[in-house]
Amino acid sequence: MTTSTTPESSASTPLIDLQGLVVAVRRRRRLWSAMAVLGMVGGGAVALALPPAPSAVTKVLVAHAEDQPNDTGTLIRTDVQVLGTTRIAELALKSLGSSEDPEDFMRDYRGTGLTNNLLQIDVTGDSRTQAVDRARALADAFVADHVRRMQATAKAESDALLEQRDRMRDELAQVNKEIGDRSPDTDPQASASLETLFARRAELNSRIADFDERAAEARTGTPQVVAGTQIVDAPRAVRYSMPKTAATDAGIGLVLGLVLGLAVAAVGVVVKDRPVLRRDIAAHLGASVITDLPRRSTLPWRRRRSRVAHERLTASLARTVRGSAEAVSLLELGAARTTSVLALDIARQLSAESPVAVIDGLPGAQLSGRRPKPGDPAVIGGERAAAEPHQGLRLGVGSVAPGTAWTDLQYLGTQTVLVVRAGHGSVAWLHTVARQLADQRIPVIGVVLTDPDPRDRTDGTLWDGLHTALRGRSERQARPGGTARRAERQPIWAAHGADNDQEAR
């Protein structure tokens, strides 16, 4: 019976499992490590193959008549833009005697405002000497243009003030003429008019003096600007260190490659949606994880630990097959080689007590097509399994990878142990495996997880799966009438293998 997912269950499930995401990205360390190394090598190669052009630098102190302590850098930004004009480029090229196009020359230099009054000019050239000459020509051209503009501004301001002064003088001459034309008399009205003319003359004299003073100040300000605008750091070639540049570019490439690799790995993990944690794999398959088989390692202590885990699992599964009244199979998902080795080791242990036959249901007849070694158990191909006589124990080996013939799995065993490689199957395919095994009425008595994450501390046990789990066998045998209950047991269908937003209960 299936029911729709309740709002409580959907609300408790996060959109992205951060723990699983981190583990999955860490498992793909080969990808992002390779991209980081590729970025580092690429950065170093770029530095070696494309060295920067010879360059020179100079600094110019720029004085402005409008300088204010609270200036936010507007004036120096204006100077930077003026430096990047064709007029400055033409003046510099003219002093160099070059016929180069000013627009092309403008691409070879740039200005940077360091402070409100300090301008840095960076220039590139075909050689260090040419770069230094270009920097000197640009600095001289800019200083000359700046002084000329400041002088023109001061002259225009002074001329305007002097023009105002001359108009005031003409008006003063007219007032003086009117005063001279008046004859002294005792008429009170004439005396008042004369007093007005005298007051007007005094005002005009004051304004004329003011205009003279302001014009003089405008002219006086230009020498300060001229003297303040100068080259304070002579043009010099910029030293270039190949090892330092290569190391810098390699470091930048390493960081960019690492970031890009992590991003690609994270996106791939989210898109593929392949569980790597015990709890997720157990939940999607509807069966508990009974043990882990770590990846083979070249380190001695890890290799010994892997061998001990393999031997312990072999002994446990051998006892399970020996004490089971039903045929047991090993079905792999992404771990065909591990499953083959595990099946042969189990069969070797069982063959000491009774004859054992291994039924090879793997794609390509990986076991039946191999050359047997002395002492190996008999291996029967899946197509010949029905024709062989049933003598002794049988251990089926098959696969639940895409392309599996699901109806043939019941001939390998009526109950199974899944050998799953972490991060191999997607959520949708794990659901498919659980559903197909349930349809074939093949209970999963446990999951062997290969290549797990060493830092995975999640619990892969399903506490409601005692009727199929290995840990529930002792309880069933201890109960009175355990055999009858076993016959009457109803199989559970993909208890945690829900698909398409549904879960089986």
Confidence of residue 383 (pLDDT cuts 50, 70, 90): low
Strand partners, 312: none
| Strand order across the 356-360 sheet | 289-293, 444-450, 415-421, 328-333, 393-399, 356-360, 378-381
Q: Which of 253-267, 341-355, 361-375 has the lowest mean pLDDT?
A: 361-375
Higher pLDDT, 108 or 453: 108
> In 363-448, which ranges are continuous DSSP H helix?
427-439
Instruction: List pLDDT tens digits, range 102-112.
Output: 999 999 999 99
> What are 229's two structure tokens?
């605008």
pLDDT at 500 over 50: no
Instruction: List pLDDT tens digits, range 225-259.
Output: 777 889 999 999 988 888 888 899 999 999 999 99
pTM reported for the whole predicted model:
0.59
Percentage of residues of the chain with pLDDT beyond 70: 80
Strand partners, 331: 398, 418
Domains of the chain: 16-51+243-271 (no CATH), 55-239 (no CATH), 276-504 (3.40.50)
Instruction: List pLDDT tens digits, range 384-398.
Output: 655 565 566 888 898
CB-based burial label for 194 (10 Å; 0-12, 13-18, 19+) = middle
Q: Residue 456 and residue 26: Cα distance in Å, rounded?
A: 11
Confidence of residue 7 (pLDDT cuts 50, 70, 90): very low
Q: Residue 453 and residue 305: Cα distance in Å, rounded?
A: 15
Chain-wide mean pLDDT for the chain? 80
CA angle 381/386/390 to nearest 5° reads 100
